[in-house]
A and B are shown apart, each in its own frame.
Chain A
């Protein structure tokens, strides 16, 4: 079974600085998707960034980028130029391409942005 591990329950970053959130996963599949979702307090979980496992190039979305290391099964999220609105719970998630539509989530990392 797939498992996703986020080893940092809480992180903090100074406004305008860079922070990296860690995620590792375990799977025997070769093709899959990895995601980072952001959940602000009392708000919907929204997709931040997605990585297809078959793509070697790391995904980027504006200030958000990932470091995808397939062999190491690592998928970290880097937030550059952190803003107060980045404060949220961040979930790393895995979804198989071939078997079902369900997500496997980590426990989440709560990010605080310090003004």
Chain B
């Protein structure tokens, strides 16, 4: 069964530091996503990525955030100058094109900013 894998499972960082969250999507998928869930709140869309560029992003995804597919297999989310309120569970997902295609999610990375 193919799956999306995320590393690390838990990241603790000091406020103001930069973090990179890593995801390995399913190999033949073409759409990639990042979502986040602040504790007790909804899972929120951050960004979608297709054909090596951002296809959609939410208001949350400001200049503090960036995404990259550096080597054709990893899909990373970089958060610069982390704030306490960036503490959340971050989910990566991938899917093929088409509205019928199923999205597959990773197990999440819990980011704690202290």
Contact = CB atoms under 8 A, between A and B. Distances in A.
Interface size class of A (residues with CB under 8 A): 20 to 34
A97 to B, nearest CB: 5
A34 B107 CA distance: 21
Interface stretch (B14-22, B33-41, B66-74, B75-83): B33-41
Interface class of chain A by DSSP:
strand
B12 interface: no
A4 interface: yes
Contact of A91 (B3, B9, B43, B58): B43
Contacts of A50: 102
Interface residues of B, number: 27
- In this complex, which of B43, B102, B108 has the most chain A Cβ atoms within 10 angstroms of its Cβ? B43
A50 B100 CA distance: 10
Contacts of A47: 102-103
Interface string A82-115: 0000000001010101001111111110000000
A4 B42 contact: yes
A30 interface: no
A44 B4 contact: yes
Nearest to A9: B40
Contacts of B87: none
Given A44-B3, A97-B99, A104 B45 contact: yes
Contacts of B104: 44
A45 B104 CA distance: 8
Nearest to A5: B42
Contacts of B56: 100-102
20 contacts: A37-B105, A44-B4, A44-B104, A44-B106, A45-B107, A47-B102, A47-B103, A100-B48, A101-B31, A101-B33, A101-B95, A101-B99, A101-B103, A102-B48, A103-B35, A103-B43, A104-B45, A105-B42, A106-B43, A108-B43
Interface of A: 4, 33, 37, 39, 42-47, 50, 91, 93, 95, 97, 100-108
